[in-house]
Amino acid sequence: MKIDLSKYALDRVREKEQKVSCAGPVVTISREFGCPSKIIARKLVSTINRITGKDRWDWISKEILERSAKELDVKPEEIKYVFEYEEKGIFDEILAAQSKKYHRSDKKIRKSIANVIKAIAYDGNVIIVGRGGVAITKDCPNSFHIKLQAPLEWRVKGVIARRENISYEEGIKYTVEYDRKRKRFLDYYWGGESDHSIFDAIYNCATMSVDEIVESIILILKMRNLIEVK
């Protein structure tokens, strides 16, 4: 099953913004750079749908960019920088405002992202990967929030150096900087300095396999009655 983003019309997004306490079930996955979040999300969805006998669950990440752009009435590439954890400087903001009739500020873009994620969480049966999901859906009782992490050396050696075609030393700098940007993005939605206490479970991808992590999550979702096994 794939989520039909077209159903999240603007009126539904705004109507549901204040109803996030009724949302769910929803699972959020936050991760350190280099951890296999998408692999785990895909396997988790497949496993949940198989054991429940219902093709209801799906996972979402990049699609949030498209939906946010639609709400703002701009092209996805115009707000992509926010999803890549970049920020415009004051001079960039001034130039953008002067050159475009419908300029959208960073603040408005981030608010639209939150609105879209809240609407998706409200409908439930979804795994949200990244995008500050843990902070945006923190008030949802039918939720489970996961953090994937691993030692820096493991992430650089196992994934980043090969994928980015950079040296180990460059990989270290790139990873640390990307983690910093993600943390800043999350803190914005959290409304302050976040720490590991905001997560329900933290998994070490260096010492646990994908299958072990997925099975552990499934067990907890069952115990919390967030999924019903046939």
Termini Cα distance of the chain: 18
Largest CA-CA distance found in the chain, in angstroms, rounded: 58
Taking CA atoms, 33 is separated from 150, 152, 181, in Å, by 9, 9, 10
* H or E segment to which residue 29 belongs: strand 26-31
Residue 72 above 90 pLDDT?
no
In this structure, the strands spanning 126-129 and 58-60 are parallel
Question: How does DSSP classify residue 84?
Answer: T
Cis peptide before 25 (omega within 30 of 0): yes
pLDDT digits (tens, 9 = 90+) for 28-59: 999 999 999 999 999 999 999 999 988 889 99
Assessment of whether the complete model's pTM goes beyond 0.85: no
- CATH classification for the domain delimited by 24-222, as one of 3.30.390.50, 3.40.50.300, 3.40.50.1260, 2.160.10.10: 3.40.50.300
Q: What average pLDDT score do residues 169-176 get?
A: 89
Higher local confidence (pLDDT), 107 or 135: 135
Candidate from 35-39, 95-99, 107-111, 162-166 with smallest mean pLDDT: 95-99
* Cβ(198)–Cβ(139) below 8 Å: no
